[in-house]
């Protein structure tokens, strides 16, 4: 007789909670986590302009649509006869030359939504119908059965890391991630936590238990790391540095999640996006150098996305409004470098936007199947073909 997954979680939670006070999904973790490869997901929040990231510099329509904000041909870092990177991405040229940087062109989903929040929720849940509440990484954690197998580095947990019965951890600074209970209070604290509770109070009690387990596990390991690269200033790089520390110290996360915000460039786009892309590239280059120095570069790949690209034509404020298809990127030794997909067709737009040609779920499927060794169908709820971007 087969228990379905929900029942299993429920029963094991009850059984284990009765003996150790630990929710069931934690107890299962030790036996099932496994795996030695890590996927680092980078979220560019606000709708990164793909056309000014991977620039179609041979295309006159691009320059015609953007008299003020186009990247001049002379500034483009040439990758192919048609496409080149924004100059602020210079720190990534070494990775490109080594074949460890991939660009995925015209990525999106059916019936594009121009709301930041609806669109972001679609990327987070991998569900364009917006029917699901839990995230695609949350489903990975449920599949593996370990709520510590994926973590966000930052203050608040994105929807991508929400599971049916719990939220995955957010680690806002590895050094601050520890419990220091005042002396003499342990017993009373334990008694307080052990009271039977219902509703939101039960949720909070469970979250506190989970936090105690997570912090304990991490602090035990994290001292093993020695820095292998110098990171630039700023919160994004700090979080990548924390990601490297977690990977190097073997805390066991299969997915780590880092966000960089500010891409909603409705006005004065060049100044804003240029600075952000510089921050992105210098942070990622340091992260990759660190992994190389640690001897971990074979075990980690990075995959980056944004909720949508922006309109092809600039607006009157030297910015761009919300668009549709965008670019994704991936890097690491496990990545097949190059441009995957065709250059955007600027003669055939949809409502002024680049049409998408690759479903993002196909890109996710590559990471799930070929990198994490999971059954993508279970997590995405269907079969999605995508480019062969994982080597």
Dist. CA 26–CA 12, nearest whole Å: 10
User: Of 129, 156, 223, 348, which lies in the binding site for another protein, with binding defined by CB under 8 A?
Assistant: 156
User: Of 58, 208, 221, 369, which lies in the binding site for another protein, with binding defined by CB under 8 A?
Assistant: 208
63 scored as a contact of another protein (CB under 8 A): no
The strand pairing partners of 257, in sequence order, are 41, 152
275 scored as a contact of another protein (CB under 8 A): no
Dist. CA 346–CA 214, nearest whole Å: 49
User: Of 47, 169, 309, 334, which lies in the binding site for another protein, with binding defined by CB under 8 A?
Assistant: 169
CB atoms inside a 10 Å sphere around CB 6: 11
Rounded least distance, CB 173 to another protein, Å: 7
Is the CB of residue 41 less than 8 Å from the CB of residue 240? no
287: which residues sit within 8 A by CB, 6+ positions away? Answer: 40, 229, 231, 237, 240, 241, 243, 244, 302
205 scored as a contact of another protein (CB under 8 A): yes
114 scored as a contact of another protein (CB under 8 A): yes
Task: Read off φ and ψ for residue 302, nearest 5 degrees.
Answer: -115, 140
45 scored as a contact of another protein (CB under 8 A): yes
155 scored as a contact of another protein (CB under 8 A): yes
Dist. CA 161–CA 299, nearest whole Å: 21
Give Cα separations from 382 to 15, 21, 120, 127, 341 (angstroms): 33, 37, 20, 10, 22
292 scored as a contact of another protein (CB under 8 A): no
**Where does this chain touch another protein (CB under 8 A) — which range of 91-99, 102-110, 319-327, 361-369?**
319-327
267 scored as a contact of another protein (CB under 8 A): yes
264: which residues sit within 8 A by CB, 6+ positions away? Answer: 45, 46, 47, 116
219 scored as a contact of another protein (CB under 8 A): no
232: number of CA atoms within 13 Å, CB side? 14
User: Of 17, 22, 78, 172, which lies in the binding site for another protein, with binding defined by CB under 8 A?
Assistant: 172
Q: Which residues, numbered 325-364, are part of the site for another protein (CB under 8 A)?
A: 351
Residues that bind another protein (CB under 8 A): 45-46, 114-118, 152, 155-157, 167, 169-173, 176-179, 182, 184-185, 188-189, 191-192, 195-197, 199-205, 207-208, 210-211, 214-215, 261-262, 264, 266-267, 314-317, 319, 321-322, 351
């Amino acid at each position: 007789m087969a228990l379905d997954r929900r029942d299993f979680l429920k029963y094991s939670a009850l059984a284990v909670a009765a003996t150790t006070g630990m929710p069931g999904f934690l107890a299962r973790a030790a036996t099932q986590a496994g795996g030695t490869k890590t996927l680092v997901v980078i979220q560019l929040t606000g709708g990164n302009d793909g056309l000014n990231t991977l620039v179609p510099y041979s295309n006159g329509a691009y320059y015609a649509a953007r008299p003020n904000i186009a990247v001049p041909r002379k500034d483009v870092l040439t990758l192919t006869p048609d496409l080149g990177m924004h100059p602020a991405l210079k720190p990534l040229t070494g990775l490109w030359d080594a074949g460890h940087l991939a660009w995925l062109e015209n990525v999106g989903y059916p019936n594009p939504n121009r709301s930041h929040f609806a669109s972001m929720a679609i990327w987070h849940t991998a569900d364009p119908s917006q029917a699901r509440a839990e995230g695609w990484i949350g489903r990975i954690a449920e599949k593996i059965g370990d709520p510590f197998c994926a973590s966000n580095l930052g203050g608040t947990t994105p929807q991508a890391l929400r599971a049916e019965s719990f939220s995955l951890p957010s680690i806002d600074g590895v050094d601050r991630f520890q419990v220091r209970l005042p002396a003499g209070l342990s017993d009373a604290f334990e008694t307080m936590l052990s009271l039977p509770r219902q509703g939101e109070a039960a949720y909070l009690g469970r979250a506190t238990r989970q936090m105690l387990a997570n912090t304990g596990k991490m602090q035990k390991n994290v001292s093993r790391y020695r820095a292998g690269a110098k990171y630039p200033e700023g919160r994004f790089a700090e979080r990548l540095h924390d990601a490297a520390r977690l990977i190097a110290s073997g805390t066991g996360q299969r997915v780590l999640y880092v966000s960089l915000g500010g891409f909603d460039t409705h006005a004065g786009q060049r100044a804003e996006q240029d600075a952000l892309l510089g921050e992105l590239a210098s942070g990622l280059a340091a992260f990759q150098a660190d992994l190389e120095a640690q001897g971990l570069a074979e075990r980690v790949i990075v995959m980056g996305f944004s909720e949508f690209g922006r309109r092809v034509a600039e607006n009157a404020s030297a910015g761009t409004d919300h668009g549709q298809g965008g670019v994704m990127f991936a890097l690491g030794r496990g990545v097949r470098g190059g441009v995957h997909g065709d250059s955007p067709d600027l003669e055939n737009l949809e409502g002024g936007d680049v049409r998408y040609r690759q479903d993002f779920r196909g890109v996710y499927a590559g990471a799930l199947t070929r990198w994490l060794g999971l059954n993508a169908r279970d997590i995405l709820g269907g079969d999605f073909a995508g480019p062969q971007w994982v080597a």
